A and B are shown apart, each in its own frame.
Chain A
Amino acid sequence: MVDVIKKKAKEVQESLFSSVGSSVLTIGTSYLVLNFFRGMFGFVMSSDKDWLAVLNNMQLYMVQAYPESDFIRVWISVGLTFVFSGVSIGLWRSDDRSNISVMFDRFYKLGLGVLFFTIVAPTFTSYMGNDGYVITEEVFSRSSRIGMLIPVLLITVGFFLLKNRKINFSFNNSDAVFLYLSIPIALIWIIELPTIQLDQNKDRIIPDPLMPIANTTKVPWTVIFVLFLLSYFIGIYFKEVKRLKNIMSISWFLLPLLIFSWIFKKPQIEMAEVLTGDIPIFLIFFAVGLGTVLLINNPIVKKYYSIYIGVVIVATIAGVFISIPMLAKACLLLLGLFVTVVPAVSTSQQGKKSLIIIWAVALVTLTFLLRGGASETGIVVPGSSIFGGFSLTWLLAIFGTYVSFPLGVLLALGRNSKLPIVRIICTGIIELVRSVPYITWLFFASVTLAVFLPAGVEFNLIVRVLMVTAFFSGAYFAENIRGGLQSIPKGQYEAADAIGMSPFQKIGLIVLPQALRAVIPTLVSSAITAFKDSSLVTIIGLFDFLTIGKTVIDNQSVPVNFVGHQRENLIFVAVVYWIFTFTLSRRSMKIEKRLGLGER
C-alpha cells in the first residue's frame, strides 16, 4: 500500500512539480481554474439570476410560436427521429463489450467531479448591484455543504469499491446508452423543479411552487423512450438483413424532408391539384423511365442514346427557366440522373427489374415530398414562418448541408476539370464566395437578392437564406472535396479509362467514392461550422434558437417579467450548441478512426 502511494506521489511530482517553472505554472493554472469554477458557481447560484427565465420558456426555445394544438406533430417528429436512431443503433450494433467496472468507473469519476464542486464551491458570492455597490450573499450554506458532502462521498466511495472489485459481468456498449438514457427519464418523474405560477392579479407567486419538471412533457418523453428501446430491439432482430441497412441509410436522408414537409408543416392539399397535376406528371415520367429501361438494348436506341441524354439535360436546364410545375422540374432533374445511370446498370434482367422499382419509388417519394412542401401550411402563427426557435436552427443546418453538398461536389469537380473555361468560372465563384464573410451574404439574401429576381417572384426570407447558404457552404465544401480529389493518384483515372468507362462512370464510380472517403473528417467539421454559422441569421432578424435566448425572452414582460435575464439565456443557448457540436465532432473522430484515415 505504501509503495502504491509512493509511486503515485512520484508520478504527481514528475507531472506537476518537475521544475520550478512547472510548479509555478501548476499553481497559477490551478488558481485560475479554481477561481473560474468558483466564479461560475457563484454566477449560477446568485439571487439576481433567474433560471426560470430559461425553464419557463422551453416551448419558445424549441418551436417559438408553433400552436399548442398541433404539438402532436412536433412529438411525432421527435419520436420518428428517435425510432430511426433506435433502429440504426440496433442494426449497426457493434460487438464491443465492456466490463461492468467501466461503468462503475464512469460513475465514480462523476462522483469525484461532484465532490470536487461540493468542496470548492464558494459559500459567499458577490455581484455589483444597479447602484454600483457590491452585494455579497450566502449561496451555499455550511449545513447544505455538509448535507451534500456526506451522501456524495458515500456514493463515490461505494463506486470506488465496486470498481476495484473484480466482477465478472460485461455488457454491450450500445446497451449502455439506453441504461444511461433511462436515468433522466426516471428523474423526470421524481425530481421536482420550480415552475412559475401566477395569482389572480397576474403577479408571480413567490416562492414559486415546486412541480415535477414540465408536467406536460414527461408522458411524451417516456413514450418516446419506450419506442426508442423497442426500435432498438427491432434493429437487433433484423441485424443480418443487409437490404434493411441500405433502406435505413436512404431513409435517414429522407427523414428531415418528410418531417419538414409533411409532419411539421401540416400541408393543406387540394385534391383537384393532385388529380390534374401530380398524378399525370408522375405517370408520364414513370412511363418515360420505364420505356428507357425496356428499350435500352435495342440497337437503334443504343446508337442514339447519347443524343437522348443530351436532350434530357437540355430540357432540364430549360425547365429551370420556363414556368412549369415545380414537380415537373424536379422530375426532369431526376430523369437526367436516371438516364445517365441506366446503361451501366441495366445489363441484366435482374438489374432492369430493380431499376424500374427504384424509379417508381423515387418518383413516388419525390411527388409525395414536393406535394407536402409546396402546399400551403395549415398552421397559423403570428409572424412570417411556422419555423422558429430550435426547429428553425435545425432546418437551416440540415437543409444548408443538403443543398450545399451536391453543389460543393459540382464546384469541386468544375475546379478540378480539364476544361479551362469551366475551371476559371468555378474557381471564380468559389474564391468570390469565400472571400466575403457570411453575414454579408445574409444581408445580400435579406435585402439585395429580391432585386435580382423576376418581378412578382417572392421567396420567404428563410428560403432566400437557404439559397445563399447553399452557395456559401457549397464553396467551402468544394474546397474540402478538392483536397480529396487531388489526393487520388493519376493511376486511378487511367485505370478507369483503360477499362472503357465513360466520364460520368469514371467520376461517379471511381473518383468520387475515394475522394469523399478521404475528406470525411473535414466535411464533418465544415458541417459543424455551418451549424454554428446558422446562428448568424439572428442578425438579419430571423427567430432562430439564439434570437429567442438573446432578444425574445429578454424583452418578455407578459405574463412574467424576464427583462434583464439575458446572460442566463445566453449560457443555456451556448450549452445546447455545445452539446450538439461536441457530440458531432466526437462522432467524426470515431468515424475517422474506424476508416483508418491518416494511418497507414
Chain B
Amino acid sequence: MKNAMKYLLFFRNVVFLKWAFQVIFLFGILSIIWNYIQNAIVNLADTNIAFSWGWLGETPGVSVAEGMYTLPNSGLQMIQTGMINMFRITLTGILAATLLGTFLGIARLSSNYIVEKSSTGLLEVVRNVPLLVQIYFFQAFVLSFPRLEVFEVGEYFIHISAKGLAFPWFNRGPNAYLLMVYTLIVIYIANKIYKWRVELLEKEGRDTKPFLWSLGILGSLLVIGWYGGFRAAGVFGFLAGYISLGLESVPAIVYQGLVSGVAIYIGFKVTKAFIDSKKSEEAQGIYSDDDYFKIILNVVVVLLIVLLMFSSIGAGFAGFLVGDEITFKADWGLPQLFHGIENKLDWYPHIDLEIYEVIEGMKKAEITNWLIKPGDNITEGQVVATAYATGNKIDTQEVELKAEYTGKVESLIVEEGKAIKIGIPFYELEVTDAAPFVFSRPKVEKVNETSKFKRYAKGHGKSLSVGYFAIWLGVVLYTAIFISEVVRAGIMAVSKGQSEAGMSLGLRRGALLRLVVLPQAIRVMLPPMGNQYLNLAKNTSLGIAVAYPEIVAVGQTLYNQEGQTLPVFLIWMAFYSSVSLTISSIINYYNRKMKIVER
C-alpha cells in the first residue's frame, strides 16, 4: 500500500490534494483579511485618524454618569469604570436570576393549579417579547413618575421618582471589607465544623448535633466580630502589603519570560503526551498526516506566543502586570491590586479622601491652606483645609473642606496652591473609628441651599439610577425565565424512581427536593445554565439603550470623542471574549466536579 502510494502522480494523491486544498483555503482567508486591512489603512489615512492607543492615556473631556470614576483621568480609567459597571449588573444579576429562575422552575412543576398556570403565563409573556422592549418599558415606567423636585425634602422609606429608585440599605463604611472577609472566614469555619460533626455522627452513631454546633460557633464568632473582632481579617491586608512590595521589585521582563516559559512547558507536555500515545500498542507508532500537522501546530503556537511575548505587545502586557505608570495612567497591575487590598484590609483601613462638591457648580478646588499635617489625629467634621472653589457657573470663593471620618492623617497628596478637579483624592487617612455598615433610609435633599434642584443624598440608603434599574430588572427577569426552563428540564430528567425511593424512605417534600432530586438535576442543568449566564453577561450590553454606562456605552462615548472606532471595537471584543471564556471555564470546572465518578 505504502509503495503503491509512491508511484501515484502527486495530483492523484489524496494526502497531497487534502493539504493543497487547505493551504489554498488558508491563503484565501488570509488574503481576504489582508485585503480588508489594506483598505482600512488607506481609508484611515484618508480621514486623518491614524490607528492608535494613545487616547487611552489622555484625559477624556467627558464624565461617566455613575460608577467607580465618574470623572476619569484617562481613557483606560473610563473603560475600567464601564467594565465594573458591567460586572455590577452581571454578578448581582446572575445571583438574582438563578434564585428567581429556580423558584419559577419548581413552580412550573407544582401540582398546584394556580401556581403552575401563573408561572407558565409569566414565562410565555417574558420569553416572547424582545428584551429591549422590556427594558424600555421598565425605563418608561420609572420615568413616568414625577420629577424629584415635586417631593418634599426629607427622609423616606421607599422612594420612586423619575430620577430612579431609592430604598433603605446598609451602606459600606471604611471597615466594611474587613467585616465581609471576616464573615466569609467564619462561614468557612462553621461549614468545616458541620462536616466534622457529621463525620463524627456517621462514625460513632450518636447524635452529635452538627447543625447546632455550627450555628452556635457561627453566631458567637459573628458577635465577637461585630464588637471589634473583625480586625482579625487585617492579617490579609498585612500579607497583601508584603506581596505588593515583593511584586514591585519584579521587572517586566520576568513576566515576559514567565509566560513564555509556561507556554513552552505546556506545549512540550502536550506534545510529549501525544507522541507517547502514538507509541501505544494500538497506534503502533504510525503517524498520519494529521498527526504531523498537530505536532507542527503545537510548535508553531508556542513559538508564536514566545515571539509575541518579546514583541512590543508582550512588553505592553507585562507593563500592565507590573503597573507601569506610563501605561495610560490607570492603576492597573498586580502590585497595585495588592496595594489596594492592603489599604482596604489593613488593621485600620487606609482611604483616599476625595474633593467633594461643597457648593453647586463647583468643578475645581485650589487648596489655599492645609490645617492638618501627617500624623495628626482628626475627628469627623473637623475642617482639614480651606480652598478656592472654581467653576464655570460660579464666582471663585473660599470654602472649607471637612473631614468625613475620624482617624490619623497618613499623607497629604495635594500641595497648597494646586488646583484639582472634584473626585480627585487629596489626602490619605487611616480610619480608626467607623462602623463597618451604616443602616440608613433614603433622603431627598436640595443640591444646595438656593438651588431648586433636588437629589438623593449620598450615603443615605441606596438609590438606583433609572438605567441601572431598567437593565437590571430586564436581564434578571429575562434570564430567570430561561433558567426556569433549564431547571424544569433538569428536574424532569431525574427519573421518577429516585423521588419514589426518597418518599419511601420517609423524606418530606423539601428534603426530597434538596437531598435527592436537585443534586442529580444539577448535573443536567449545569451546561445550559452556563449558556444562560453567558447570555446574561452579553445582554448587559443593552444598558446603552437606557443610558447605563457599561462598557459598550462608555466605549461609544469614547469613540465619539476621539474618533478611534477600531481600537474601541477591539477592546470590546477582547473584554467580552475573556468574560465568555471565564464564565465557561468556571462552568466547565463545576461540570467536571459534579460528574458522577464512573468506574
Contacts and interface: CB of A to CB of B under 8 A. Distances in A.
B43 A451 contact: yes
Interface in B104-128: 110-115, 118, 124-125, 127-128
Given A33-B118, A132-B151, A539-B545, A451 B146 contact: no
B144 interface: yes
A179 to B, nearest CB: 25
A463 interface: no
Interface stretch (B1-9, B24-32, B169-177): B24-32
Interface in B286-329: 290, 293-294, 297
B541 A448 contact: no
Interface stretch (A22-30, A203-211, A278-286): A22-30
A437 B115 contact: no
Contacts of A570: 133, 136-137, 140
Given A443-B556, A539-B545, A455 B39 contact: yes
A344 interface: no
B542 interface: yes
Interface stretch (B199-207, B256-264, B389-397, B570-578): B570-578
Given A451-B39, A452-B36, A33 B22 contact: no
A308 to B, nearest CB: 15
A33 B114 CA distance: 9
Q: How large is the interface on B (under 10, 10 to 19, 20 to 34, 35 or more residues)?
A: 35 or more
A516 B44 CA distance: 43
A132 B156 CA distance: 14
A419 B23 CA distance: 11
A574 B26 contact: no
A32 to B, nearest CB: 7
Nearest to A538: B132
Of the listed residues A25, A30, A132, the one surrounded by the most CB atoms of chain B closer than 10 A to its CB is A132
B545 A538 contact: yes
A532 B22 CA distance: 38
A577 B573 contact: no
Nearest to A579: B128
B141 interface: yes
B137 A26 contact: no
B40 A29 contact: no
Contacts of B576: 435-437, 440
A435 B581 contact: yes
Contacts of B552: 437, 439-440, 443
A389 B186 CA distance: 58
Contacts of A32: 118
Contact of A535 (B35, B130, B544): B130
Contacts of B35: 321
A420 B290 contact: yes
B388 interface: no
A252 interface: no
Interface in B138-168: 140-141, 143-147, 150-151
B18 interface: yes
B134 interface: yes
Given A420-B297, A432-B577, A567-B140, A26 B133 contact: no
Interface stretch (A2-10, A123-131, A220-228, A363-371): A123-131
A444 B556 CA distance: 11
B124 A448 contact: no
Interface string A545-586: 010001000000000000000110011011001100110010
Contacts, number: 165
B569 interface: yes
Chain B residues touching A, majority SS: helix
A425 interface: yes
A524 interface: no
A147 interface: no
Given A22-B112, A443-B552, A455-B46, A532 B137 contact: no
Nearest to B544: A539
Nearest to A573: B133
A18 interface: yes
A567 to B, nearest CB: 5
A15 interface: yes
A591 interface: no
Contacts of B446: none
A122 to B, nearest CB: 19
B596 interface: no
Contact of B150 (A130, A438, A536): A130
A123 to B, nearest CB: 23
Interface string A426-457: 00000010111111100110011011111100
A598 to B, nearest CB: 12
B137 A15 contact: no
B559 interface: yes
B218 interface: no
B567 to A, nearest CB: 10
A444 B576 CA distance: 14
A317 interface: yes
Given A25-B115, A439-B542, A582-B128, A571 B137 contact: yes
Given A132-B146, A585-B128, A26 B115 contact: yes
A157 B539 CA distance: 48
A128 B146 contact: yes
A16 B112 contact: yes
B229 to A, nearest CB: 39
A337 interface: no
B131 interface: yes
A439 B548 CA distance: 14
Given A432-B577, A437-B538, A419 B114 contact: no
B561 to A, nearest CB: 13
A58 interface: no
A447 B133 contact: no
Contacts of B151: 132
A533 interface: yes
B474 to A, nearest CB: 12
B129 A577 contact: yes
A205 B577 CA distance: 57
Nearest to A36: B118
A449 to B, nearest CB: 10
Interface string A514-532: 0000000000000000001
A30 B114 contact: yes
A321 to B, nearest CB: 8
Given A29-B115, A532-B131, A437 B39 contact: no
A421 interface: yes
Contacts of B134: 574
Contacts of A432: 573, 577
B136 A550 contact: yes
B224 interface: no
Nearest to B128: A581
B42 interface: yes
A434 B531 CA distance: 11
B411 interface: no
A103 interface: no
A330 interface: no
B581 A18 contact: no
A440 B532 CA distance: 19
A15 B43 contact: no
B302 to A, nearest CB: 16
B580 interface: yes
Interface string A21-63: 0100110011011000000000000000000000000000000
B566 interface: yes
A432 B137 CA distance: 31
6 contacts: A447-B559, A452-B37, A532-B131, A536-B132, A539-B545, A577-B133
Given A29-B112, A436-B573, A577-B129, 4 more contacts: A317-B28, A420-B294, A453-B43, A570-B137
7 nearest A-B residue pairs (beta carbon): A132-B150, A437-B538, A435-B580, A581-B128, A532-B130, A437-B541, A421-B22
Interface of A: 15-16, 18, 22, 25-26, 29-30, 32-33, 128-132, 317, 321, 418-422, 425, 432, 434-440, 443-444, 447-448, 450-455, 532-533, 535-536, 538-539, 546, 550, 566-567, 570-571, 573-574, 577-578, 581-582, 585
